[in-house]
Amino acid sequence: MQKPTHYPKHYCGVFGVFGHPNASELAYYGLYALQHRGQESAGIVTCHEGKFYKHHGMGLVPQIFTDPKTLHDLVGNMAIGHTRYSTTGSSSLRNAQPLTVDCARGQIAVAHNGNLTNAASLREELEERGLVFQTTVDSEIIIMMLAQPQNGGMPSSLVNTIRRIEGAYSLVIMTEKELIGARDPHGFRPLSIGRTANGAWILSSETTAFDLIHAEFVRDVEPGEIVIINDQGLTSIAAFPDHQKRAFCIFEYVYFARPDSILNGHSVYEVRKEMGRQLAREHNVKADLVIPVPDSGVCAAMGYSEQSGIPYEMAFIRNHYVGRSFLQPTQLIRDFNVRVKLNLIESLVKDKRVVIVDDSIVRGTTCRSRVKTLKEAGAAEVHVAVSCPPHQNPCVYGIDFPDRSKLMAANNTVDEIRKYLNADSLHYLSQDGMVKATSQPAANFCMACYDGKYPVPYDPLLDKNIIERRKRHTQTLGEAATRENKQISLLQV
């Protein structure tokens, strides 16, 4: 059996503030609430009297903004922020967002959540026009296009730009006078509007950030909509008035979003519990105990327990203080990487038939270790229940599993996966059951990772490093041309 060696990572989180005297502080707390969407880098850009102030770094939000003076120096009543996991471009400081540019129409800052499917071709087009890129992220293409001089000012430039880019994007943009939010016409990624008690406007990837800063949810930015916020209030532009097809990423409900967020008017917590209930309706396993894989499997396990009547126990205890280890595990602790995150209360599972509930299985190695731990602790039977269908196709809209060879279910049958996990049984939620749990029509969602139906065409060679590979290829061609010219010169001599 093939052993995939990859698992999905988060997308990114974007946040914006307009009209608050402590905009940077609100942005900091907003990014803190969105930390689950990206842990590689983060940054904040503020605007005060037409001047931008920026701070960004690698790591988690509190690791980057350790000195209170840092936030104090980010002055202004406007701010945008970003937490990043790299979906296009490698993990490095130069690729950290928000990105900024100083151009003829003034300063612009952009924070992008999503993945552009036509990034390479657009970048090549811009480079042929003489533009020089500083990063290898697709987000820089957006800011370069916005910076181009056009008739009609920023609104016209915005509309023209987002009509050129393809794929998934929720954008938070800041100019010297405005805060702007935009979503792609399919609405792949979430973006919500909130407002504080003092009237400040907030844009956020998820509504959970509103709770932390005591902001009220106003509404979602609609797919294909641009919202422009300035001293006159909020203006809406429908950039794709005739576009009807929706394709919200259903994996937001399954795994990515925080359970205390509201997406498309539906509680993520309640949807995940209903996925667990539906899983129990579809697969009635005879067992003594239901246990979740913390934290992502907790809601579904609760729903499974309620529907099946099987008692629920938190047998796996998560260590919330796991950081980067500077010592490599030795033979003394062979399974350090597994046990350091989750530890089992063995007395709860000894001689019991156990159903372990998780949100997804992508590569399977972690799930296999959980099954092994349960059996070593004396569990009589271990049944694995998964609250989504098998992942069989790559995602090109922001989840970092773009290669079918790295997806266990794309290369193995359910029974082969069960044998690899060494589980007594393995059960996946059906696609119909997953959709039913959301209480929304199937036509509202992108489910390409399950069914292979891609709403936006893509290059099958697309992956997160495509721009860097193309750059290396161009450099190689240039070096070859230089060598050839030298040889011609020698022959002429």
Residue numbers annotated as active site: 12
Contacts of residue 68, defined as CB under 8 A and 6 or more positions apart, other chains included, come to none
CB 445 within 8 A of CB 435: yes
Residues 6+ apart with CB under 8 A from 307: 276, 277, 278, 280, 281
Q: How many CB atoms lie within 10 A of CB 324?
A: 5
DSSP state of 89: S
Query: Do residues 218 and 193 make contact, with C-beta atoms less than 8 angstroms apart?
Result: yes
For the beta sheet containing 353-358, the strands, ordered from the edge strand earlier in sequence to the opposite edge, are 289-292, 353-358, 381-386, 425-428
> How does DSSP assign 27-62, residue by residue?
HHHHHHHTGGG--SEEEEEEEETTEEEEEEEES-HH
CB-facing half-sphere around the CA of 231: CA atoms within 13 A: 3
Tell me how far apart the alpha carbons of residues 280 and 383 are, in angstroms, rounded to a whole number: 12
Report which of 247, 268, 252, 254 is spatially closest to residue 429, judged by C-alpha positions. 254
The C-alpha atoms of residue 95 and residue 136 are separated, in whole angstroms, by 7
Determine the straight-line distance between the first and last CA of the chain, rounded to whole angstroms.
61
Q: Annotate 7-21 with DSSP letters as a single string.
A: -----EEEEEEES-T
The whole-angstrom separation of Cα 203 and Cα 350 is: 49
